[in-house]
Amino acid sequence: MDKYYKAIKENICKYCVDSNEDGKCTLSKQEICAVEFYLKKIIQIVHSVDTEEISVYHQKLRDEVCSNCKTSNNEFCYLREDANCSLDRYFPLIVETIKKVDVGLIT
């Protein structure tokens, strides 16, 4: 799990709109990063799917994570609608990063 967390920090967080110019998270103690919070489940999702079609990963994410998220009401999520869900916004890059860790391209 640590290798994935490290890879996410190095390859996703630096692009996140919730980070500063040094790539450090600017979320307050009252806010939570969905990527970090759901990382274990995200890794399970990526490992359970074997396709290059990101839409398949997205659907599994919606079914297994978004459906249980407190900001989601059935199919509607106000964070996703406002492009304010880091998990949704960076999901293709997250999937790519996890796959690269799995094959040893990122250590």
Give how far Cα 54 sits from Cα of 25, 57, 65, 86, Å: 26, 5, 16, 16
pTM of the predicted protein model: 0.86
pLDDT at 54 over 90: yes
- Per cent of the chain over pLDDT 70 is 92
What six digits make up the tokens of 1?
Answer: 């799990």
What pLDDT shows up at residue 32? Answer: 82
Q: Which residues contact 22 (CB under 8 A, 6 or more apart)?
A: none
What pLDDT shows up at residue 73? Answer: 67
Residue entry with tokens 């990101």: 54
- Per cent of the chain over pLDDT 90 is 42
